[in-house]
């Protein structure tokens, strides 16, 4: 199967997974908010935020391992591929132990007056913390297997396992509605078990299907590869830490100034942002291995072109869903949530604004990682993202409302995009003119025109199902047409026509 067909197949299954997991995740949030209450739900999100400050290593290390696996798959160096996988196993087991130690050490201080938690819920919060620490240990240990599945582009299997995982979480949420006491603790314990089960399934699949995962020989350990991967993973982890601190660290700072009720609102906003971001990230998940393999084959020009195309389509896919959602957020939240916590709507809108801003250079992040030289990129862009913490703390110290921290979130993300662009020019030889021509001029006009078209009925009609339907239909029709004629280049339109013809032939 050629790369275009494989990307299309994987993307299709990832979107099926996304739709299912999005619906189920929103349902899980509703059930948890009703069953746990605002206080306990806020505590759960607070503890997740604290643990998330180190659990970010999961995604960072997965990208690092995936980069080397995809690179050597593209370069067709199979023996080095085995060395990379073996080295990644050693690296992740060591890292999981370090994270376990650091989190346990941090736990000695977090509940001694640092976090604002009701006194009668402190013991429950400590139990939740231990469960999420165990989840982090399991997740980090199994990263090499997840990275191997993605590098080999077996995303159909990955989608099936992800659906199983969210179904088990939904079952756990239903189960806590059947018990009277210790609901929060029971749900956290279920999450540990679900994490372990799904990771073992992925590991077994890798053992059965990928040669590099089958042999664990002492001679496969390569100190040079281990050092190179450790350096890459270290800088990638630093960048991921800064990105997580921008989000989860903000939740901790909000807790210090405003308490757990604001954490509940921020948790819902982050949940919404995560689900809508998945609308574009699934496409990136299918494209990223091809970007990295092109670099491994020495096709730098093709790699840059594909990364810019990924940026353009990622922005389109996210904004395609974001426009009708943002214009109908009050109605959607009233249907979704029984009671809407204070600040939730403004938090969600601003969080989505920051997520959309990030899409402006999302493909360039993978391109830079594919090149391997990420020290300059992560040190500069990561530090810029980390600025959100002191800026938010200073804003709250001056007495400004909680949502001001999310305004700084957007501005700092925009600044990071500018630096990401110029670093790509320095490291990869990206033409700023090419980015302006192939990305900005292709996404801004369709987005702006569609938003204006949809905003007119949104301001006229009251918050209702009718308004949702009208703005949804207008968004689909106008954005599809605008993006087809203004956003896509001749090659992309030609490929879309071919796909349409194949689908019509298949139906006949």
CA–CA separation, 304 and 285 (whole Å):
16
Tokens of 502: 């194949």
Alpha-carbon dihedral of residues 337, 341, 344, 345, nearest 10 degrees? 60
Q: Are 324 and 243 in contact (CB under 8 A)?
A: no
pLDDT one-digit tens code per residue, 460-496: 888 888 999 999 999 989 998 998 888 888 887 877 7
Question: Alpha carbon of 152 to those of 10, 88, 203: distances in Å?
Answer: 11, 16, 14
208 — pLDDT class (breaks 50, 70, 90): confident
228 — pLDDT class (breaks 50, 70, 90): confident
Please state the rounded mean pLDDT for residues 390-412. Answer: 89
Which is nearest to 350 in space by CA: 322, 324, 316?
Answer: 322
pTM of the predicted protein model: 0.75
203-207, 236-240, 408-412, 452-456: the lowest-pLDDT one:
236-240
217 — pLDDT class (breaks 50, 70, 90): low
Residues 6+ apart with CB under 8 A from 135: 51, 55, 191, 192, 195
Q: Is the dihedral of CA 47, 50, 51, 56 positive or negative?
A: positive
Please tell me the predicted confidence (pLDDT) of residue 52: 61
Tokens of 144: 């090499």
Q: Coil, strand, or helix at residue 398?
A: coil
Residue labelled with tokens 């469960």: 131
Which is nearest to 145 in space by CA: 80, 203, 67, 209?
Answer: 203
Please check the confidence at residue 206 and state whether its pLDDT lies above 70: yes
186 — pLDDT class (breaks 50, 70, 90): confident
Q: Are 389 and 53 in contact (CB under 8 A)?
A: no
From the number of C-beta atoms within 10 Å of its C-beta (0-12, 13-18, 19+), residue 305 rates as: middle
Q: Are 472 and 323 in contact (CB under 8 A)?
A: no
- For the chain, what is the total number of helices (H) and then of strands (E)? 21, 0
Residue labelled with tokens 């959602």: 325
Q: Are 53 and 115 in contact (CB under 8 A)?
A: no
CA–CA separation, 38 and 264 (whole Å):
6
In angstroms and rounded to an integer, the radius of gyration of the C-alpha atoms of the chain is: 23
The overall average pLDDT reported for the chain is 82
Q: Are 356 and 216 in contact (CB under 8 A)?
A: no
Please check the confidence at residue 323 and state whether its pLDDT lies above 70: yes
Please check the confidence at residue 216 and state whether its pLDDT lies above 70: no
Alpha-carbon dihedral of residues 235, 392, 274, 427, nearest 10 degrees? -30
Please tell me the predicted confidence (pLDDT) of residue 103: 81
pLDDT one-digit tens code per residue, 66-87: 888 877 777 777 777 788 888 8
């Amino acid at each position: 199967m050629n790369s275009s067909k494989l990307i299309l197949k994987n993307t299709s299954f990832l979107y099926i997974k996304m739709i299912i997991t999005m619906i189920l995740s929103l349902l899980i949030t509703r059930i948890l908010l009703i069953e746990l209450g605002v206080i306990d739900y806020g505590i759960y999100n607070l503890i997740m935020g604290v643990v998330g400050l180190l659990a970010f290593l999961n995604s960072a290390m997965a990208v690092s391992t995936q980069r080397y696996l995809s690179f050597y798959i593209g370069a067709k160096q199979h023996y080095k591929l085995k060395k990379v996988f073996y080295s990644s196993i050693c690296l992740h087991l060591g890292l999981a132990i370090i994270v376990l130690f650091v989190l346990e050490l941090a736990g000695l201080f977090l509940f001694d007056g640092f976090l604002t938690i009701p006194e009668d819920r402190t013991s429950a919060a400590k139990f939740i913390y231990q469960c999420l620490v165990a989840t982090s240990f399991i997740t980090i240990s199994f990263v090499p297997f997840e990275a191997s599945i993605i590098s080999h582009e077996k995303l159909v299997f990955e989608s099936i396992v992800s659906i199983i995982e969210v179904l088990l979480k939904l079952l756990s949420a239903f189960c806590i509605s059947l018990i009277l006491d210790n609901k929060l603790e029971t749900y956290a314990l279920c999450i540990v078990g679900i994490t372990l089960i799904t990771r073992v399934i992925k590991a077994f699949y890798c053992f059965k299907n990928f040669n590099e995962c089958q042999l664990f020989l002492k001679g496969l350990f390569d100190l040079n590869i281990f050092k190179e991967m450790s350096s890459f993973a270290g800088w990638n982890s630093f960048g991921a830490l800064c990105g997580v601190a921008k989000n989860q660290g903000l939740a901790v700072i909000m807790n210090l100034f405003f308490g757990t009720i604001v954490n509940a609102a921020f948790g819902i906003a982050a949940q919404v942002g995560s689900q809508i971001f998945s609308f574009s990230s699934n496409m990136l998940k299918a494209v990223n291995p091809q970007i990295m393999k092109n670099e491994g084959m020495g096709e730098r020009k093709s790699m840059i072109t594909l990364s810019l195309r990924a940026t353009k389509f990622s922005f389109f896919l996210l904004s395609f869903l974001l426009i009708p959602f943002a214009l109908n957020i009050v109605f959607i939240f009233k249907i979704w949530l029984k009671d809407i916590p204070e600040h939730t709507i403004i938090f969600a809108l601003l969080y989505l604004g920051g997520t959309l801003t990030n899409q402006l250079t999302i493909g360039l992040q993978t391109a830079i990682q594919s090149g391997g030289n990420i020290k300059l990129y992560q040190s500069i862009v990561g530090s810029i993202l980390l600025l959100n913490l002191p800026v938010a703390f200073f804003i709250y110290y001056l007495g400004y409302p909680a949502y001001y921290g999310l305004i700084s979130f957007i501005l700092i993300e925009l600044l990071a995009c500018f630096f990401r662009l110029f670093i790509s020019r320095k490291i990869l030889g990206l033409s700023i003119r090419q980015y302006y021509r192939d990305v900005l001029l292709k996404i801004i006009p369709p987005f702006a025109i569609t938003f204006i078209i949809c905003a007119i009925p949104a301001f006229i009609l009251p918050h209702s199902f009718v308004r949702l339907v009208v703005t949804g239909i207008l968004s689909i029709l106008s954005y599809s047409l605008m993006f087809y004629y203004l956003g896509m280049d001749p090659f992309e339109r030609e490929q879309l026509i071919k796909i349409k013809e194949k689908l019509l032939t298949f139906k006949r």
